[in-house]
Chains A and B, each alone.
Chain A
Amino acid sequence: ETGVTQTPRHLVMGMTNKKSLKCEQHLGHNAMYWYKQSAKKPLELMFVYSLEERVENNSVPSRFSPECPNSSHLFLHLHTLQPEDSALYLCASSQDPYGTGGTEQYFGPGTRLTVT
Chain B
Amino acid sequence: QKEVEQNSGPLSVPEGAIASLNCTYSDRVSQSFFWYRQYSGKSPELIMSIYSNGDKEDGRFTAQLNKASQYVSLLIRDSQPSDSATYLCAGDYSGAGSYQLTFGKGTKLSVIP
Contacts and interface: CB of A to CB of B under 8 A. Distances in A.
17 contacts: A31-B99, A33-B99, A42-B4, A42-B106, A43-B44, A43-B88, A43-B103, A45-B100, A45-B101, A88-B43, A90-B43, A90-B44, A103-B92, A103-B94, A105-B101, A107-B46, A110-B42
Contacts, number: 54
Contact of B99 (A48, A108, A109, A110): A48
B43 A56 contact: no
A31 B99 CA distance: 9
A69 interface: no
B40 to A, nearest CB: 11
B98 A56 contact: yes
Interface of A: 31, 33, 40-43, 45, 48, 50, 55-56, 58, 88, 90, 97-98, 102-110
Contact of A102 (B49, B99, B100): B49
Nearest to A43: B103
Interface of B: 4, 32, 34, 36, 42-46, 49, 88, 90, 92, 94, 98-106
Interface residues of A: mostly helix, strand, loop or mixed?
A: loop
A97 B103 CA distance: 16
A97 B31 CA distance: 12
Contacts of A108: 43
Contact of B46 (A31, A42, A106, A110): A106
Nearest to B88: A43
